[in-house]
Amino acid sequence: MQRERRTAGASLAARRRHLLRGISARDPRSARVWAVVALMATVLTNVVSGAVEVRGVPVLEVAGALALAALSAVLLRVSVDRAGPLIVLAPLAGVATIVWLDLATHDAGVTGQVFFIVPVVWAAAQLRTGGVAIVTAATIAGEGVVVWTLLEPRQAATDFAYLTVVFLLVSGVLTRAAAAQERLVDRLREQASIDPLTGLWTRRVLDTATARAVQHRVAEASLVIIDLDRFKTINDTYGHLGGDAALTHVAELLTGHCREADVVARMGGDELAVLMLDCPREIAAHRAQQFVDAVRSTPLHLPGGALVPLSISAGLATLSPSATRAEDLYASADAALYVAKRAGRGRLSAA
């Protein structure tokens, strides 16, 4: 029963995360800044309007301005990740303010209705599809409240129909364009993160993961730097296609002996690396030796039938208290690698 409850809870949490992602900002950091800017502009508009006064004091305007300012403070105070789903409140607050000002000033003309396009454009530029749908629906509803309250039925129906088409058209076109741009950025980011030859992570990803491990003082973090022995000879003997096949072959062997959490990367040329997190030094050394043994015992079969024996040299370093930068861990693993090379290659050396 407890297992079923945990499973149901995990499934509910996953659905909640998916829902929140659907309404959150595409780029929370940038969207949060622009949300606060928009809210401050709305605060200013709300205060200077002075539409309704109580004993000479625009009480409702001041109250609305304080509420918008409070929302801005919340967006600035919470972390960027948590602010993502909350950013949808900014354009919704804008819609509510426009409705309030239009009703307070009895303005359902062009000057009263034109500002309804602003939340739609802002949402389409900053939010994901779910958030755009919510803001567009709220804008259409707000427009309906204004025109059906202030205009005669025939004029209200005409204005409502025209503006609903405009809102849907603008949100649809801009959302589609933003989604296409986001897919392009994701594709470019993926190309920058994955080595096209081996399918391993790039040096950039390895650097980021290593720096994070050092920054958070992950005690059981080890780095293995690997060189494919006599790679130039392989290239000279079997051509560059043979060299590419050798690199791909070794990359597949390393990946097959690694966990999903390990970062297996190509640093450049014939140099590869494996970052192992939450892995005690003794186990990391045992696994690194497995890398060396697996390459030695699994020769490369080329399409022409040639059988190419391969070997690698590996240097292992474990994060120490004295390491304060990623470069320190790299330097230790690199020094161990050169010890392995000077000792005859095809072996592991630990710093």
> What are the pLDDT digits (tens) for 246-298?
999 999 999 999 998 899 999 989 999 999 988 888 999 999 999 999 999 99
| Residue 93 banded pLDDT, cuts 50, 70, 90 | confident
Per residue in 320-341, pLDDT tens? 777 778 898 999 999 999 999 9
Domains of the chain: 2-193 (no CATH), 201-350 (3.30.70.270)
Q: Is the per-residue pLDDT at 54 higher than 50? A: no
pLDDT at position 20 is 62
pLDDT, greater one: 321 or 300: 300
Which tokens go with 23?
A: 């309404």
Per the annotation, the verdict on 270 as an active-site residue is yes
Phi first, then psi: what are they for 288, rounded to 5°? -65, -35
> 3-state DSSP call for residue 349?
strand
**DSSP E strand stretches across the chain:** 201-202, 222-228, 263-268, 271-276, 300-301, 307-308, 312-318, 348-350
Instruction: Give the best-scoring range by mean pLDDT among 35-49, 51-65, 95-109, 177-191.
Output: 95-109
Question: With the CA atoms of 40, 45, 46 and 47 taken in that order, what torsion angle do they form, in degrees rounded to the nearest 10?
Answer: 90
The 10s digit of each residue's pLDDT in 107-147 is: 888 878 888 998 999 899 888 888 999 999 999 999 999 99
Closest CA to 274 of 337, 340, 182, 321: 337
- Choosing from 81, 270, 328, 334, which is the catalytic residue? 270
What would the pLDDT profile of 205-257 be if each residue is shown by its tens digit? Answer: 999 999 988 887 766 889 999 999 999 999 999 999 999 999 999 999 999 99
**Rounded CA separation 17/49 (Å):** 39
Please report how the helices 129-150 and 2-23 are oriented relative to each other, as an axis angle in degrees rounded to 10.
Answer: 60
- At residue 224, the pLDDT reads 96
State percent of the chain over pLDDT 90.
46
CA 199 – CA 266 distance, rounded (Å): 9
Contact (CB, 8 A) for 23 and 130: yes
How much of the chain exceeds pLDDT 70, in percent? 85
- SS3 state of residue 140: helix
Q: Which residue do the tokens 């030695």 mark? A: 296
Would you call 311 exposed, middle or buried from its count of C-beta atoms within 10 A (0-12, 13-18, 19+)? middle
Q: Is residue 164 classed exposed, middle or buried when 0-12, 13-18 and 19+ CB atoms within 10 A define those classes?
A: middle
For residue 56, the 8-state DSSP code is: T
Q: Is the dihedral of CA 303, 309, 313, 314 positive or negative?
A: positive
pTM score: 0.57
Residue ranges of E strands in 19-129: none
- Angle CA 44–49–55, to nearest 5: 115
- pLDDT tens across 12-21, in order? 555 666 566 6
Of the pLDDT bands very low, low, confident and very high (cuts 50, 70, 90), residue 88 is confident
Element (H, E) at 47: helix 28-49
Mean pLDDT of 88-114: 85
Residue 10: predicted pLDDT = 47
Instruction: Note the pLDDT of residue 181.
Output: 82
C-alpha closest to that of 208 among 263, 246, 128, 284: 263
- Whether residue 49 has pLDDT greater than 50: yes
pLDDT of residue 47: 56
Give the confidence band of 62 by pLDDT, cuts at 50, 70, 90.
Answer: low
Pairing mode, strands 271-276 and 307-308: unpaired
For residues 333 and 351, the answer to whether their CB atoms sit within 8 Å is: yes
Q: How far apart are CA 263 and CA 275, in angstroms?
A: 5
